[in-house]
Amino acid sequence: MSAGRDDDPRIKGIKSKIRVVPDFPKPGIMFQDITTLLLAPNAFKDTIDLFVERYKNKNISVVAGIEARGFIFGPPIALAIGAKFVPLRKPRKLPGEVMSEEYILEYGSDCLEMHIGAVEQGERALVVDDLIATGGTLCAAMKLLERAGAEVVECACLIELPDLKGRERLNGKPLYVLVESH
């Protein structure tokens, strides 16, 4: 299934609060800015509620959020569904022993890290980020969790850019998004 709950009346309000900033971070990119959504408490709450309603009865014990905007949405979801929150970070930010997963960027590569021991074998996990574009970061996130023995139940994002076909990079893992942007 592609987009989120088109029939849910809250989606329209959420979409209207997302600001598109042209030519950021470079010319030609239409940047999807969620900070304006965070300024509208009702819409921000609706966003979290939509995810919580979907996941609260799915026995999810781990919500993993991708630095840094995944840190804004992940923890409220984790708290509401009784799960732990695991931050997935850029290199050298996490202080303890970490495992790393490299992923390809348009030019070069980057790396995502997770604390060893944060996730246990057999845990059911959700990966959260504000947006999925090419799917490279989400894919690295899933690999980290799977390497630690967790089962990734779903990836959850507010926004999908379907033209970039990120969904296809998730190796068949389900993706749930609230809004699409073409």
Return the closest-CA partner of residue 180 out of 155, 168, 162.
162
- Contact mark string toward another protein, 113..132, x via CB under 8 A: --x--x--------------
Tell the smallest beta-carbon distance from residue 33 to another protein (Å).
Answer: 5
Kindly state whether residue 51 participates in binding another protein, applying the rule CB under 8 A: no
Q: Which amino acid is at 114?
A: M
Candidates 9, 25, 108, 172: give the one binding another protein (CB under 8 A).
Answer: 25
CA distance 130 to 160: 9
Active site residue 167: no
Largest CA distance in the chain: 45
Whether residue 69 lies in the annotated active site: yes
Residue 119, CA atoms < 13 Å, CB-side half-sphere: 34
Instruction: Determine, following the binding rule CB under 8 A, whether residue 52 of this chain makes contact with another protein.
Output: no
What minimum distance in Å lies between the beta carbon of 134 and another protein?
Answer: 19
Binding residues for another protein, rule CB under 8 A, total 38
- Length of the chain equals 182
For another protein, which residue of 35, 59, 100, 109 counts as binding (CB under 8 A)?
A: 35
Please name every residue paired with 86 in a beta bridge, in sequence order, or none if there are none. Answer: 64
CA 142: distance to chain centroid?
11
Q: Measure the CA–CA gap between 60 and 125, rounded to whole angstroms.
A: 6
Q: Which residues bind another protein (CB under 8 A)?
A: 19, 21, 24-25, 31, 33, 35, 38-41, 44-45, 48, 67-69, 71-73, 75-76, 78-79, 82-87, 89, 92-96, 115, 118
Give me the active site residues, please. 69, 106
